[in-house]
Structure formats: C-alpha cells, structure tokens
Amino acid sequence: MKPKIAIACQGGGSQTAFTAGVLKALFENKVQDYFNIVSLSGTSGGAICAFLIWYSLKKGDEIIWKRMIDFWQDNSAQTYQERFFNDFVIKSLEWVSKGLLPQYALSPYSPAAKIWFSFATQGLRSRFTDLKELLETHIDFSELKTWGPQLEAPILVLGSCNIITGKLHKFVSRLESIKVEHLLASACVPNIFPAVSIEEMAYWDGLFSDNPPIRSLIRPKFVGLENIPQEIWVIKINPTATDKIPEKPDDIADRRNEVEGNVSLFQSLDQVELINDLFLRNAFKDEFLAETELREPIKIPKSFADDPDRDYYIPMIEMSKELADSLNYESKLDRCPESLKRLIDDGEKQGKLFLETRLRQLDLR
C-alpha cells in the first residue's frame, strides 16, 4: 500500500514560484505512483499553487503541473510596460525600506490609491493587475461550483483569516465548493488589497492564520478519517536561520517578515510533535486510535525537530541557501520573468532531490 502524504505549501507572494517548481518536479517524476496524496494545503501564493495542482488532479489532466506553470507564466511581466511597472514598484519599495524615499501610508480603499493605480496600470493586461481575472482565465469556477463538496482524496485546505471574528478560517473542498473568492481571501495582503467579502464576513491573507495549514490535515472533520496522512511534506518559503544579526532597516524588515511567516508553521508542527510523543508513549486508548485510524506517528519535517534521532521526521523542501540569501521582502512582489524562472528552476532542483532521497529511504526505488 502506498504511503499517505499531505503536501503543505507555505505562502510568500511571488517567491511561491519556487513552490510551483517543487510541485512540477514531484509530479513530473511521478510522485503519485509511489505515494497516495490524500490532501494539499496552502496559504496565499502557496494556496494558489496547491489549488492548481488539486484541480488538475481532480480533472485528470494528463500533465498535472502544466496548468500551474501556465498560470505563473501568465502572471509574469511580459510586455515592456508591464516590466517597467513591475521594476518601478519593486525599486521604489526597496528605496523606502532603505530609508532613501519617504513612506506614505495609503489605504487600498482610499481614492488617491485607486486613482494612482488606475493611472499607473494604463496599457497593461487586465489580468496582470487583476488576480481574479487571472485565476478565472485558467480555471472554470462555474464548473467547480457544480462539483459540490469533494469527499474523495485529495482534499484541499486553504488558509485565511476572518477579520470580523478575528479567528482562523479554512476553506475546505470536502466541506464546500471552492470559489475564486476563497483564493483571493487567502492571498489578500491588507495593505495592498481590500478585504475579500464572503457571505457577510471579510477575510485577509492566510499569513495571519496558518502558514500553511497543518493541523487541519490531521483532523478527520476537515479531511475525513480515511485521509489522515502518514507524512506531512512542507514546501517552505521563509528561511528558518540567518547568518548574521540584521542591522540596516531593510535587513531588519526582511528578517522580521521571515520570522513572522514561520511562527504559525512552527506552532502547528509543535502540536503534531506533541501528538506523536503521546502516541509513542502509548498515551491513547485503543478505542480512540481505532476511531481516528492512527496506526503510527505522523512524520513531520526533520529541520524542526529538537531530537533528530526520532524516526518520524523527514526533511522540509526548502530553497537553496544561495537563492534564499539573494531574496528580500520586496522580491515577494517581483514578477520579473527572470526572477520567477530562477525560483521555479530551484524548486524543480530541490523537489527532484527531495523525492529521490525519500524514495531511497523507503526502498521504493
């Protein structure tokens, strides 16, 4: 029987093109022939990558990763005007971070912000500036609506934050039809986009909740008893460690963003680690284990473990150090084709290496 796995995709804006590269490598190398993918989760850009793979799996696409890569190519700055706009925005933000330009706090709701955006984006493709249109170009959401809740694996879990209730929120394919608004909510950076309203509630970026959703992947009420994974693979965007203490304003901002992006991930993994420890110490009654279909500890990333000798840890899939060191906070908004290609290429390299290593460890190849 093939091991059951869940793939969780951390958010990080344009840097999640790395995630697209990882997922491409996994499916290009036939991960589904060796593993039973029972669920996918994601936040923000990670949610979009997870969704596009989930949709292709459900549709039975011949090339599972093609729809996702097509999305990223369409999302890149293609024309001269788009490249100029992209480079101007990124360079301006970098100068602000370095203290070379004053910072103006504008709400995405303000008339001034709307006028500037309308003027600055003249002549650009509408789907380059409108994420909803871009998503609808690649996905038939009217068809998705007719599917209804999807009880069969893989299950999709998208992280978001309900800003009215102040609580974490998950959009789960097993419980409802996935809508374009769910993806927009998970990717709604509040200082860039207005909150996404869904049924009298309003949502912000999933980075404020679970980045990415982990705990939901092991809870039967979200994924179903039959879809509890044996392993959780995390495609991670934000580096855990750094080589030096940041001192410059832009370096401080970069490091703060990285640390904040990892907080919920490490908290979630800590809870899974606690469950595993209790499991190994026979703390659960047999009737409880029978109800939850738990037979062995859930494998989580080795880089998080305090004790590397525990047998239920596997590596995270992370960027090469060279690539991670070259990125800054502003690059999470950079849609330059060369930058996105570099991220995708590194993702492919790391994803292929990860899969080859895991197959050897399990004697599956």
**Which H or E run includes 26?**
helix 17-28
Domain coordinates in residue numbering, the chain:
4-79+128-362
Query: Is a pLDDT exceeding 60 seen at residue 314?
Result: no
Q: Are 41 and 8 in contact (CB under 8 A)?
A: yes
Q: What is the pLDDT of residues 89-104, one digit of tens each?
A: 999 888 888 777 787 7
List the structure tokens of 289.
Answer: 């284990």
For the chain, the distance separating the N- and C-terminal CA atoms, rounded to the nearest angstrom, is: 15
Which residue is it, tokens 């869904």?
198
List the structure tokens of 157.
Answer: 């879990």
The pLDDT of residue 138 is: 95
Q: How far is residue 20 CA from its own chain's centroid? A: 10
Q: Are 50 and 42 in contact (CB under 8 A)?
A: yes
The pLDDT of residue 96 is: 83
Beta strands in the chain (DSSP E): 4-9, 36-43, 155-162, 167-172, 196-198, 201-204, 231-236, 300-301, 313-314, 317-318
Query: Is a pLDDT exceeding 60 seen at residue 310?
Result: no
Query: Is a pLDDT exceeding 80 seen at residue 168?
Result: yes
Class of domain 4-79+128-362: alpha beta
Half-sphere exposure of 46 toward its Cβ, with a 13 Å CA cutoff? 29
Nearby residues of 283 by Cβ (< 8 Å), 6 or more positions away: none
Note if the bond before 220 is cis, omega within 30 degrees: no
Q: What are phi and psi of 70, to 5 degrees?
A: -60, -40
Q: Are 313 and 306 in contact (CB under 8 A)?
A: no
Virtual torsion, Cα 141, 146, 149, 152, nearest 10 deg:
-90
Buried b (16+ CB within 10 A) or exposed e, 271-293: ebbebbeebeeeeeeeeeeeeee
Query: Is a pLDDT exceeding 90 seen at residue 111?
Result: no
Q: What is the pLDDT of residues 47-85, one digit of tens each?
A: 999 999 999 999 999 999 999 999 999 999 999 999 999
Distance, in Å, from the CA atom of 278 to the CA atom of 290, rounded to the nearest integer, reads 16
List the structure tokens of 126.
Answer: 């509408």
Helix (H, G, I), strand (E, B) or coil at 8: strand
Averaged confidence pLDDT in the chain: 88
The pLDDT of residue 303 is: 46
Query: Is a pLDDT exceeding 60 seen at residue 304?
Result: no
What number of H helices and E strands is found in the chain? Answer: 15, 10
Query: Is a pLDDT exceeding 70 seen at residue 302?
Result: no
Least confident of 176-190, 279-293, 306-320: 306-320
